[in-house]
Structure 1
Amino acid sequence: MDNQGFEMYGESIQKSSNGTEWPRKEERNSKWSLMKVFLVCLLACVITTVIGVLVLSLVYVNHVPFIRETVIKDDGTSSPKPEEKDVDIKFQFLNHVTNSKVHKYPGGEIQWARYRNDVNEYQSDEEMVFGRSINNHRSKMTFGTLRIKSKGLRAPHWHFNANEHGYLAQGSAWIGVIGADNSVVTTYNVTAGQVIFFPRNTVHWVKNVGSEDCLFLLFFTTHEELQTLDVDDAFFSTPEDIAARALRPQGGVNFIRTFKKQEEDQAINLPPNLNELVKNATYVQSPDNLVWQFFYDLKGSAEYPFPGGVFQWARYRINGTGLNEKEKIFSESLNKHENTLTLATLRIFSNGLGQPHFHFNANEMGYVISGCGQVGVILSGVTSNFNIGIGDVIFFPVGTQHYIKSVCDEDLLLILAYSTGNQLETLRMDDYFHGTADHILAQLFFKHQDEFKKFPRPAKK
């Protein structure tokens, strides 16, 4: 045929309508084959990737308990949070402080049950849960143990964000407290069983003057990380010329330059050549009207018995009710400072019970001095029962019902702190049970109204 539009299919070269040559059939088939191979490979890669992601996700879910979070520090740097695991709910209320990190110094050591800004400073998940608990509940409470060797000195210091309340469990020490404005210095002796109190930003020091270690059980009124400044750190952080002008020593700035900062932290100080440095150490007992602002003889105070045990209190009492003249000074001192604590020793006799109760106006924190016991805690939707022993710290948020029972042959002895400088307000189970009308209890518990007469009325307190 003459019409070129109907050339034979086998023609080797074809032309388009504008005269350009079309690719040969073999070339077209080859390109389509390559495209099919590419599409198949792409599909295979997608399928493989999806399967891989699914497998890795399943492995991650099964073996990694949580996604690591990042903590932003105060200096702007970041650090990953330590891996967590499921932790028993009891550690919201319990801290084995004896297992915490021991901060060692030349003259002693400190251990903490507290909140940390950097979670990597926690020694365990349990410790972290406790720290978060006291912080989340805005408890205004931190606990620490301070051990000072014989002749050791807790360096003069002050706390920016907390009052300090302490109970001396062992040893004897001399205390120094420096007041504001006129710089009145109060010094006094403290022995085992007595209480010390340092208002926020008050410079104070503690010197062990006995032959055995001093052991202080300390409570601080903050649920944030405690902020402290030691006098030696403040001195060495001050420019030499400024320190010389402020202190005006003989020799001026040249004398200031003879001071050398120790390489290790001197928070609890005990120089090896102490006998060469100190020739005449004198201690003067200040007048009672000064001392009792910062001191309380808890061991020598009145006992308040209850079925199963006895309390002794270092606390504020409205109008000084039941207090002697010295104790009234301490009571008023607590009440005039902001965010102070009430302290108490609680002795529960063997198999005795501190019955279920709660506090209207205070969180509670305690340390086990001796014995062993069982604790029960009930929050909204949370219930926990656990055992406690020597060196354990317990925490009960405000309004939380709790009980403490002695389960050893010996008495259970605790030092307790409550986050109020006002009179503590407490309601016990027998009080609120009998304060509820019988017909209300009958309707609540599906029992006949007369059956509630089987519960004896609590004695008047």
Structure 2
Amino acid sequence: MNNFQRRGLLSAAGVLGVATAARAATFGNPDSPPQGAVNTKGSPQSLTDPGPKNPVLMDQFPSFQDPPATDVDGMPLFWASFNDAHKRIQNGGWAREVTQLDFAISESISGVNMRLSSGGIREMHWHQQAEWAIMLTGKCRITTLDELGRPSVEDVEAGDLWYFSPGLPHSLQGLGPDGAEFLIAFDNGMASEFNTLLLTDWVAHTPPEVLAKNFGVSADVFRNIPLKNLWIFQGKEPPALAADRQSSKVVAGAQKVVFRLASKTPDRQTRSGTVRIADSRNFPISQQVAAALVTVAPGGMRELHWHPNADEWTYFIKGCARATVFNTGPKAQTADFRPGDIGYIKRGLGHYVENTGTTELQFLEVFKADHFAEVSLSDWLTHVPPELVAQHLNIDPSTIVQFPQDRPDVVPE
């Protein structure tokens, strides 16, 4: 079927009243050849899967097994998960990561999920990339030093962010009674938590006489230094925050490295959910990473939208979700997400995220950008002449004024 024939059939369908309503109920794929289970009527064998399978795994992905009839063509896999990532475990905690080596589409962001026991220490280190993080559970003490020699020592808990600019040294330590678990995002898809610049490595690979000259002490002081890095190790519970700040010589003036995201007033709020944004406009140090913390009530949806300035790296904290990504071609693909899963949506590609569960859905949208930016489909369609939209979508102009306006972000309003 050529384009003119296809358009003719679609135009004819538009004037068939009841037939149009019936078609809209299933919204079968109009592309040729027809795709989706809706096209297999009369041939039930087309849907069978008699070969080897893992039913437990398959059940986690209903949209892969039985995609919506509107899905079309293929796309790079935009789903990954920490749930099937290998844990590196040491006395004091563990970490697992998803980088571009594991998740090919994820070019701009890599992620780390880390756990520290009470007193557990992620050893003093630094990265060549920016480190953005959010606390998931427990409490953690972070330390850092800026390029002007100003120290920061802070305690963070669930929903708090920290940001370490590229090249600035830092440490992390779990606090009692339950330690800490957190998510780290690096602004480079190839960055790895297992390949960082570590204090113990550098000292062990520097001549003792150089260390002595540098620190103004005897070389014998360094006789018992660790010859292998510590990475994560079990330490002693630190003293009160005020005592650590005093001993670290913390003074006023250093740029704030912590942002209390979960406790801030929502930037967008409807009866279906909230959106809280953190970027360089309200968290000035975060020059290379922007983020939004989104909650969606059961039956709600993060509206159809896209991001014009950066790819989106999405981390699912709680609840169940379904998302469809739309690209040129046309191409459209749907995937399911659960806690610990990751999504990745290229800049400018349309998408939505729907709560498919019975409890609140919460997820993070993370971007390699200095500011959060998005375009809402309903916002666009309600800010151009209604007749123009009506001619595109073959709907009555009076219907368009009923669309959500002014970017609700989470619908229904």
Letter in 1 for 2:280: Y
CA deviations on 1:248-287 (whole Å, 9 max, x unpaired) are: 22xx11222232324xx5211116xx59xx9999422856
CA distance in 1, matches of 2:239, 2:404: 61
Q: Are positions 1:177 and 2:129 aligned together?
A: no
| Shift, 1:98, TM fit | 1.3
3-state DSSP of counterpart to 1:444: helix
Matched, 1:401 2:369: no
1:296 corresponds to which letter in structure 2?
A: F
One-letter amino acid of the counterpart of residue 291, structure 2:
L
Q: Distance in 2 between matches of 1:147 and 1:334?
A: 23
Structure 2 residue identity aligned to 1:173: C
Cα pair 2:119 2:175 within 8 Å, conserved: yes
Q: Deviations over 1:2-46 (max 9, x none)?
A: xxxxxxxxxxxxxxxxxxxxxxxxxxxxxxxxxxxxxxxxxxxxx
Q: Which runs of 5+ in 2 are unaligned?
A: 1-72, 408-413
- Indicate the percent of aligned positions where both proteins have the same amino acid: 19
Letter of the aligned partner of 1:454 in structure 2?
T
Counterpart in the other structure of 1:222: 188
1:309 equivalent in structure 2:
273
Paired residues of 1:371 and 1:389 also in contact (CA < 8 A)? yes
Q: CA 1:229–1:407 in 2, change beyond 3 Å: closer, same or farther?
A: same
Q: 150-159 or 103-112: which moved more?
A: 103-112
1:288-320 CA-to-partner distances (Å, cap 9, x unmatched) read: 753x62110112211121462101122233xxx
- For 1:96, the equivalent position in structure 2 comes to 81
Instruction: Structure 1 unaligned segments of length 5 or more: list them.
Output: 1-87, 117-127, 318-327
User: Which of these residues, 217, 228, 245, is aligned with residue 284 of structure 1?
Assistant: 245
The residue identity in structure 2 corresponding to 1:204 is H
Aligned residues: 326
For the aligned residue pairs, the C-alpha RMSD in angstroms reads: 2.4
The 2-side partners of 1:279 and 1:346 are apart by 35
Does residue 133 (structure 1) correspond to residue 118 (structure 2)? The answer is: no
Q: Which amino acid aligns with 2:112?
A: G
Q: Which residue of 2 aligns with 1:333?
A: 285
Shift of 1:106: 2.0
Provide the residue aligned with 1:297 in structure 2.
260
Residue pair 1:98, 1:111 contacting (<8 A) in 2 also: no
Alignment partners' CA distance in 2, 1:90 and 1:253: 59
Instruction: Say if 1:314 and 1:343, in contact at 8 Å, map to a contact too.
Output: yes
Match of 1:37 in 2: none
Amino acid at match of 1:334: S
CA contact (8 A) 1:168 1:194 kept: yes
Equivalent in the alignment of 2:365 = 416
Which residue does 1:426 correspond to in 2? 374
**In 1, are the aligned partners of 2:305 and 2:376 still within 8 Å (CA)?**
yes
Q: Is the 8 A contact 2:382 2:405 kept in 1?
A: no
SS, match of residue 431 in structure 1: helix
Matched, 1:349 2:321: no
After superposition, residues 426-445 of structure 1 pair within 5 angstroms as 426-445=374-393
Runs of 4+ with >6 A deviation: 278-281
Q: Separation in 1 of the partners of 2:280 and 2:309? A: 13
Q: Which residue of 2 aligns with 1:208?
A: 174
Distance in structure 1 (CA, Å) of the matches to 2:191 and 2:155: 30
Paired position in structure 2 for 1:453? 398
- Could you tell me how far apart the structure 2 residues matched to 1:346 and 1:159 are? 28
Q: CA deviation at 1:399?
A: 0.3
**Shift in alpha-carbon separation, 1:315–1:152, aligned structure 2, 3 A:** same
- C-alpha distance in 2 between matches for 1:313 and 1:436: 27
Counterpart secondary structure, 1:269: strand
SS at match of 1:143: strand
Deviations 1:431-451 (A, max 9, x none): 222344444444434x36xx1
Q: State the distance in 2 between where 1:433 and 1:280 align.
A: 55
Using the size of structure 2 for normalisation, the TM-score is 0.73
Name the counterpart of 2:12: none
Distance 1:287 1:248, change over 3 A: closer
Residue-by-residue CA offset, 1:383-410 (whole Å, 9 max, x unaligned): 1111110110111111011100101110
Secondary structure of 2:280's aligned partner? coil
In the other structure, the counterpart of 1:385 is 334
| Deviation per residue, 1:106-146 (Å, 9 max, x gap) | 21111111123xxxxxxxxxxx4x2x2123xxxx2111101
Looking at CA atoms only, which structure, 1 or 2, has the larger radius of gyration?
A: 1
